[in-house]
Amino acid sequence: MGFACRSDNRGVAGELLLRRAEKTKHRFSEDIRIGRFAGFDLSIRSGFNNTAALVLRGQNGYSTRITDTALGTIRSLESVAQGFEERAARLEADIRDSQKRATELEAKVGAPFEKEERYHHLARRQSEIEEQLDLTKNQAPNQLEAVAEKDNDEKNSQQQNQAQAKANRQTRKAAVCV
């Protein structure tokens, strides 16, 4: 069931769209074809909370909202259709820019890196510094070794203290015996 009426009057056309949208608000997520506009199929799509939107459909679909007024709805629909030319012009400019950049970059592909020698020099220098600082070795075993050395130092210190105490006791015995 589509529009049986063709109107060149924007106000009348907008009013007909508003009435048709009101009737289809309860058909959730359904596109109902109602005619053609600017060479595109025109449909109404119902949405959440009893809302509806207009959809212009060609290879792709472009939606616009239905406003509270007839003329506002028509302006919204016209704006979508007029935006196609601007969007197409922007896309064509983007394509030209991308092609130009691609041509510029193709010339650089395979070309030698102009700072390659400097890069290799700095990479060698970094390796030398890492080797001098011993950064490449795992730090955990070194920490374990330090703890083990500390324990050994404490044991050695205790053994020395015990040996000295024993020597002191022996010295006292010798003093008493003389």
Judge residue 98's burial from the number of C-beta atoms within 10 Å of its C-beta, 0-12 exposed, 13-18 middle, 19 or more buried: exposed
Q: What percent of the chain is modeled with pLDDT above 70?
A: 75
**Is 1 contained in some domain?**
no
**Is 41 contained in some domain?**
yes
Full-model pTM: 0.45
Q: What is the mean pLDDT of residues 50-70?
A: 82
At 177, the pLDDT band (50, 70, 90 cuts) reads very low
**17 lies in which domain range?**
10-82
**Is 176 contained in some domain?**
no
Task: For residue range 112-133, list pLDDT tens digits in order.
Answer: 888 989 999 999 999 988 888 8
**Is 61 contained in some domain?**
yes
Tokens of 123: 């990479």
Number of domains in the chain: 1
**Is 139 contained in some domain?**
no
**Is 175 contained in some domain?**
no
**Is 32 contained in some domain?**
yes
**Is 76 contained in some domain?**
yes
At 147, the pLDDT band (50, 70, 90 cuts) reads low
Higher pLDDT, 123 or 62: 123
- Give the separation between CA 65 and CA 74, rounded to whole angstroms: 10
